[in-house]
Structure 1
Amino acid sequence: MQAEPVRRQVTVTEEGPVLVHGPIEVTLDDGRRVSSDRAVTALCTCRRSRRYPFCDTSHRRRSRNRPAAARSSVPQGDGMLSTTAPQPVCQSTLPEPRGPLSTAVLATLRGSTAVPDATEIGSAVIEQADPHGDDLQLALYCCYELHYRGFAEDPDDPVADDLEWHPGLLGLRRRMEQVFLTALRSDVPGGTDVTAEINTLLVEVVGASGVSHHLCRAGQLWQLREYIAHRSIYHLKEADPQAWVIPRLSGPAKAALVAVEHDEYGAGDPQRMHARLFADMMTELGLSPRYGAYLDAAPAATLAEVNFMSLCGLHRQLRGALIGQFATVELTSSPGSNRLVQAMQRLDCGPASIRFYAEHIEADAVHEQLLRRGVIAPLLAAEPELAADVVFGIQASTLLADQFSDLLLSRWPQDQTTLRNPLPDAPGQD
């Protein structure tokens, strides 16, 4: 009996690359052969790529000057997506504390003297804190948020901008960071073989089970909405933590990272910024697109992933780790995004929901090439001593992502919410 031929999924994108699923070998017109072992490979069709035959987003410079209506394949004016100018995004409101550390941080932000503030927390309290627990992770998140959009516009508890550099908060943050970092370093094997770590990321295990697999095959709408609420903690400021590493790089690595960030920010089009696309998706799914709307609901596992990005971004000595973190996301995102598109389609979600993840199927397949060849390779050629940090960033990001996945997949089969404050359509919220 003749074996069934292997069928590769090939996706043709509008004015973009051809996306080929699975390891491939490409024969060029001059007879040379190049191969890719990526789960999804973006092949250039405009022939402008400097890494031809692999896409490097050069096609976006060509299409950027076209009218927005001509570029977009998402229906406008149908009540699903707003056709008006985007409104100013509201700032985060202060969350409720979850223990002595977050109580101290929030007391400092509120200017309260009723409880010990950040300068009065003893070492024993910090050293005994669970590095992956709600209290420490929320306290860290609130400290880091002062370096993003802050809490200045909280209508109930406006926080002064100058608290970003409050000595007590900075000192407490540093001690909490040490607890978190020590735990992460003890939980991962470490090493210096960046190539081996990247090769591991490039291989999807047959029969793997993860959050995107579950949502694709059998996820319910309330679970999808919970997942989006979790992810809003990062995606409403998508690419912002990684922007901190730009001035810490130089030469080709810096140029390539800027190209990736430029794409994350919509290639000059505010309507295509990934954070804006995510907010549009939230609106369509009946979730609040307000920045930080689900901070109080987010458990430690959700906060820890974002905190690790902020931690690495704010410390020059961890620049290699942030590159490793960014590479981990970009190298593994396309297959998961493809499954989430299928989940959205199965659940009859609208075009804005599908658009966000469809964008990431293409974008992250391209970014994988830029990060591997354009950022990591020249960075390590110039600073080989950063290899251990890049490996740490990859391993720690994978560990934290697994912890987040374990939380969702341990509760959803039991019809249990994974948020601290359940959404209205979660089981038991009738």
Structure 2
Amino acid sequence: MRLPVPRGPISERLFGELARPPHAFGLPPPLTGPSAEPRVADEDVQVALFACYEMHYQGFDEVDERWEWNRSVLAVRERLEDRFERALAAAVPRPPAAPARDVPRLLVEMVPGGGPWPLADYLHKDACLDRFREFVVHRSLYHLKEADPHTWAIPRLRGPVKAALVEIQADEYGGGRAGRMHSELFRGTMRALGLDDAYGAYADRVPAVTLAVDNAMSMFGLHRRHRGRLLGGSAAARRYYDEHVQADAVHEQIAVWDMCGRFAAGDPGAGGEVLYGAACALTLDRLFAEHVMDRWRSGASSLREPHAVPAGR
């Protein structure tokens, strides 16, 4: 995977530094002073944060692996995370406080009912193959590493809660069979659709709202203080294909009752974080769906224009 193309002064400065051997550098000027009201779909912030997080996953071909824990990069990431957290706080109302015993029920009730999700319904009934390919391109950034952010939570949990997450993760990773890993199943779907199944192949084509979904899970996974939000995010209903749908139906029950419910019971003050994590996941999914449907209704692509990516990248 190569570094994405910069989308503004923050990512341009950061990516320029990362192309060199590890060294100390100062914060990009846009991060040193007061910022405008943060937005979830800030292209520059989201692509820079995505790059910071990706160094904890597969990394980049042209970036020295020693950058992963470089203090200058961590300082940039801290400022970017602050902006992202403030943007989430503005976009996602905190659910009311609730007793720990009510957390599983409230998680289930948070998922909209009364009819299909508009994007899912459109893909199921009306989308042409090209539209479905676009959707798969969007989802590829997350689904090709799908279970990894939640794996970071395993050593931060105890007892039955840890066991419940391990049960879910074991299934996500195919029960030890590489070909059954859900990320590999998704890769097979991409190949069948004639898409590039390389990890991160479409990082330059997806907009900020798509990167935000991926970045939220990474941010929640990398910070122990956000472990409740990560669990809540995993309990939000996801819409996927064949085996994944069946697996998630089981995972939802394990996540809601055995994982989130017991986590809230063991730490009553964390129940609100679980609900907030679910609210973040659902809000980001809604913003993503609105972006895609708005673009499609206007007859345009929901992806970034190919000419935004220089030749050879």
Query: Same fold by TM (over 0.5)?
Result: yes
Query: Following the alignment from structure 2 to structure 1, what is the Cα–Cα distance between the partners of residues 222 and 130?
Result: 35
Query: Following the alignment from structure 2 to structure 1, what is the Cα–Cα distance between the partners of residues 269 and 27?
Result: 36
Show the counterpart of 2:282.
Answer: 398
Equivalent position amino acid for 1:379 in 2: F
Identify which of 62, 83, 86 aligns with 1:182.
Answer: 86
- 5+ residue gaps, structure 2, are 308-313
Q: In proportion to residue count, which structure has more strand?
A: 1
Query: Following the alignment from structure 1 to structure 2, what is the Cα–Cα distance between the partners of residues 362 and 94?
Result: 35
- SS of 2:7's equivalent in the other structure is coil
CA contact (8 A) 1:266 1:274 kept: yes
Query: Following the alignment from structure 2 to structure 1, what is the Cα–Cα distance between the partners of residues 210 and 33?
Result: 23
Go from structure 1 to structure 2 and tell me whether the alpha carbon gap of 1:119 and 1:314 turns closer, same or farther (over 3 Å shift): same
- SS of 1:119's equivalent in the other structure is coil
Higher relative contact order (CA 8 A, sep 6+): 2
CA contact (8 A) 1:105 1:143 kept: no
CA contact (8 A) 1:146 1:164 kept: yes
The answer to whether the aligner puts 1:308 opposite 2:216 as a matched pair is yes
Identify which of 380, 383, 400 aligns with 2:264.
Answer: 380
Query: Following the alignment from structure 2 to structure 1, what is the Cα–Cα distance between the partners of residues 301 and 28?
Result: 36
1:33-48 pair list within 5 angstroms: none
The CA deviation at 1:422 is: 5.1
CA contact (8 A) 2:10 2:30 kept: no
The CA deviation at 1:218 is: 0.6
CA contact (8 A) 2:104 2:257 kept: no
Q: In proportion to residue count, which structure has more helix?
A: 2
The answer to whether the aligner puts 1:212 opposite 2:120 as a matched pair is yes
- SS of 2:304's equivalent in the other structure is coil
Identify which of 73, 82, 93 aligns with 1:169.
Answer: 73
Show the counterpart of 1:132.
Answer: 41
CA contact (8 A) 1:296 1:421 kept: no
Go from structure 1 to structure 2 and tell me whether the alpha carbon gap of 1:134 and 1:377 turns closer, same or farther (over 3 Å shift): same
Go from structure 1 to structure 2 and tell me whether the alpha carbon gap of 1:250 and 1:285 turns closer, same or farther (over 3 Å shift): same
Equivalent position amino acid for 1:95 in 2: P
Query: Following the alignment from structure 1 to structure 2, what is the Cα–Cα distance between the partners of residues 118 and 374?
Result: 45
Query: Following the alignment from structure 1 to structure 2, what is the Cα–Cα distance between the partners of residues 169 and 121?
Result: 14
* TM-score calculated relative to the size of structure 1: 0.67
The answer to whether the aligner puts 1:110 opposite 2:19 as a matched pair is yes
Go from structure 1 to structure 2 and tell me whether the alpha carbon gap of 1:414 and 1:180 turns closer, same or farther (over 3 Å shift): same
Show the counterpart of 1:359.
Answer: 243
- SS of 1:127's equivalent in the other structure is coil
- 5+ residue gaps, structure 1, are 1-91, 338-356, 424-430
The structure having more radius of gyration, on CA atoms, is 1
Go from structure 1 to structure 2 and tell me whether the alpha carbon gap of 1:118 and 1:215 turns closer, same or farther (over 3 Å shift): farther
Of 121-130 and 301-310, deviating more is: 121-130
